[in-house]
A and B are shown apart, each in its own frame.
Chain A
Amino acid sequence: MTAGKLIRTIFFIEILQGMALTLRTMFTPAVTRRYPKVKRPVQPGFRGLHALAKNEEGKMKCVGCGLCGAYCPSQCIHIYTTEGEDHNKVVDRYEIEVLRCVYCGFCVEACPFGAISLSEHYEYSGYSRKEFYMTKEKLLANWDKYFTGKKGERYYKDFWRPKSEDFHGYEGQAMFKGIKNEK
């Protein structure tokens, strides 16, 4: 054992260094939140509870093509359609088992009409399983609740992928712009 090592062992150098670090950290600001009181802000484009989009007239955009249900990896979307008066397709029931959903966002990607969206809601709690069985009415109500005003339009503009520009590249792509605040 070298002299340096001996001194380290006798005087608990490495332990003291660790202690000093913990002491220092005690005076840094806390990184935790008091959760139910302080909610964490959600980033735009968060993949949370579903909503069925409405068009400008307040009608449901979904035409019942069933692509979202076909693509869904957990197969939790159930769509039932019938023939309407003038031989158009009518969506009778559109149901999502939210407890089985994995929030992959593939339904949004699959939908060719921009009719389903994922909102920023992330707090799921309830007293029965039934509350998590989203019916068409509930999903449409979610749209009013989470995509008020221009938000819905913006959602499809930003988060409905892929877009043409993804295949070509475009001006103003995020690039490394040199060191701003080097420490």
Chain B
Amino acid sequence: MEDIEKTFETRELTISMGPQHPATHGVLRLVLNLDGETVVKCTPYVGYLHRGIEKLGENRTYFAALPLSDRLDYISSMNNNVGYVNAVEKLFGIEAPERAKFIRTMVAEMGRISSHIIWLGTHVLDIGATTPFLYAFREREVIMDLFEMLCGARLTVSYPRVGGVRNDISQEFLDRLYEFVLDFPSKMDDYETLVTENRIWKSRTVGIGVISAEEAVNWGLTGAVLRGSGVDYDVRKYAPYDAYDKMEFDIPIGRKGDCYDRYLVKMGEMRQANRILKQCIEKLPAGPVMADAPKFTLPPKDMVLKDMEHLIHQFILITKGPTVPEGELYMGTEVPKGELGFYFVSDGTGKPYRMRVRAPSFIHASVLPRLCEGGLIADVIANIGTIDIVLGECDR
């Protein structure tokens, strides 16, 4: 036996996985050193989708930088928008009216469901189950249609505004959303029937990519990846923004911190999101949807046509931007991927002096070597799927 090992020369093999690999969710490139099928070393390379969003944000007024946040994590653009406007509002020191807050919470949870649905579909597809992918897109389409009805765009919505939301919701939207909310738990049951107990799924995910609670915290993980390890940290609960303090919901947590637990956490989150949606609709108050803060919101259009003051105001706000208190601010919000934070340094002009985005995907991508090393190459795919990264956000 020893003779054979001596005569066969074995050496480590270096392969590059991505950036065009279908299972790397975009343009992530992993350089893997392999010993047979075992991953010895894994090095993620990011930056293929770098567009300089932070820099672009510094060259636009606080209002006009909003569509940039759509393009961070483009499958949950609504949540990024909500995070962005919340941070900017805090910087300006204004607050959105109650109804706008409820609407934002509502659309953010819709975004969460649609993002988690994609995650579910692609994650199980990577591992080999095609059917849930198709089912998942069926439900996602409903949400996309609702978004289109709401604001005229399906994916890059740019719906919330600093100080409120772009437009009020229509009765038809509310009714159709409620129908969806009532229907969605049965769809969730469908996914769970297909996936949760499936023996192939379990053998591919149970015990894969284990990360302990302590390590997860040390790596700076947030979102479902952290909660899968048993830490019940959720920005929506511990630093509530919008209407989350009026909502009743639980934070699902896992125990072992493996792929399967993270899967369960995300499934639980979808059910909770549905619960929040239901409460949002039922408790939705009447009232304005834009804050009464003329210095920080565009003036109403009917007045712009009639009144010189408003017209001047419109010109100033658009060309120069608002006059902002000096200082710096960080605000984190819970997006489907984890904690998305915006950090602004304001020098008092209408444009941020510095805009920094704390992108959960970037931090989660950095933990990949920790999850993959020592495992099999086939499990790399499971690990990429489970941390749920979007490279648009990672590379910014």
Residues of A within 8 A of B (CB): 8-9, 14-15, 17-18, 21-22, 25, 31, 42-43, 45-47, 65, 67, 70-74, 102-106, 109-110, 112-114, 118, 159-169, 173-177, 179-183
Chain B residue nearest in CB terms to A48: B152
- Knowing A14-B198, A22-B131, A103-B156, say if A167 contacts B298 (CB, 8 Å): no
B173 at the interface (CB under 8 A from A): yes
B175 at the interface (CB under 8 A from A): yes
Residues of B within 8 A of A (CB): 60, 63-68, 70-71, 99, 131, 135, 138, 141, 145, 148-149, 151-153, 156, 158, 161, 164, 166-171, 173-175, 178-179, 182-183, 186, 190, 193-194, 197-199, 281-284, 286-290, 292, 297-305, 311, 314-315, 318-319
**Residues of B contacting A103 with CB < 8 Å?**
153, 156
With the chains together, A181 CA to B305 CA distance in Å? 43
- Give the interface centre of A15, A67, A72, A176 by most chain B CB atoms within 10 Å: A176
Could you show 26 A-B contacts with beta carbons less than 8 Å apart? A9-B199, A31-B138, A46-B148, A47-B151, A71-B64, A74-B67, A104-B67, A104-B158, A106-B64, A113-B305, A159-B152, A159-B167, A160-B301, A161-B167, A162-B290, A162-B297, A164-B300, A165-B168, A167-B292, A169-B99, A173-B286, A174-B169, A174-B173, A174-B174, A175-B284, A181-B179
**Residues of B contacting A160 with CB < 8 Å?**
301
**Residues of B contacting A102 with CB < 8 Å?**
67, 70-71, 156
The 8 Å CB contact of A182, one of B149, B182, B186, B311, is B182
Residues of A contacting B: mostly: loop
**Residues of A contacting B171 with CB < 8 Å?**
174-175, 177
With the chains together, A95 CA to B277 CA distance in Å? 42
Chain A residue nearest in CB terms to B155: A103
**Residues of A contacting B292 with CB < 8 Å?**
167
The reply to whether A21 and B194 form a contact with Cβ atoms under 8 Å apart is yes
The reply to whether A47 and B301 form a contact with Cβ atoms under 8 Å apart is no
- Knowing A43-B152, A71-B318, say if A161 contacts B301 (CB, 8 Å): yes
The reply to whether A73 and B65 form a contact with Cβ atoms under 8 Å apart is yes
With the chains together, A103 CA to B154 CA distance in Å? 11
The reply to whether B300 and A166 form a contact with Cβ atoms under 8 Å apart is yes
The reply to whether B182 and A43 form a contact with Cβ atoms under 8 Å apart is no
Further contacts, 11 of them, CB under 8 A, given A105-B152, A110-B318, A167-B300: A67-B318, A70-B318, A72-B64, A73-B65, A102-B156, A103-B156, A112-B314, A159-B152, A175-B171, A175-B284, A179-B178
With the chains together, A113 CA to B314 CA distance in Å? 11
- Knowing A17-B193, A103-B153, A181-B179, say if A162 contacts B298 (CB, 8 Å): yes
With the chains together, A104 CA to B282 CA distance in Å? 30
The 8 Å CB contact of B298, one of A25, A47, A109, A159, is A109
With the chains together, A162 CA to B100 CA distance in Å? 13
**Residues of A contacting B65 with CB < 8 Å?**
73
**Residues of A contacting B161 with CB < 8 Å?**
162
Expressed in whole angstroms, the minimum distance between the Cβ of A65 and any Cβ of chain B is 8
**Residues of A contacting B315 with CB < 8 Å?**
65, 67, 112
**Residues of B contacting A118 with CB < 8 Å?**
152
- Knowing A71-B64, A73-B65, A106-B64, say if A164 contacts B282 (CB, 8 Å): no
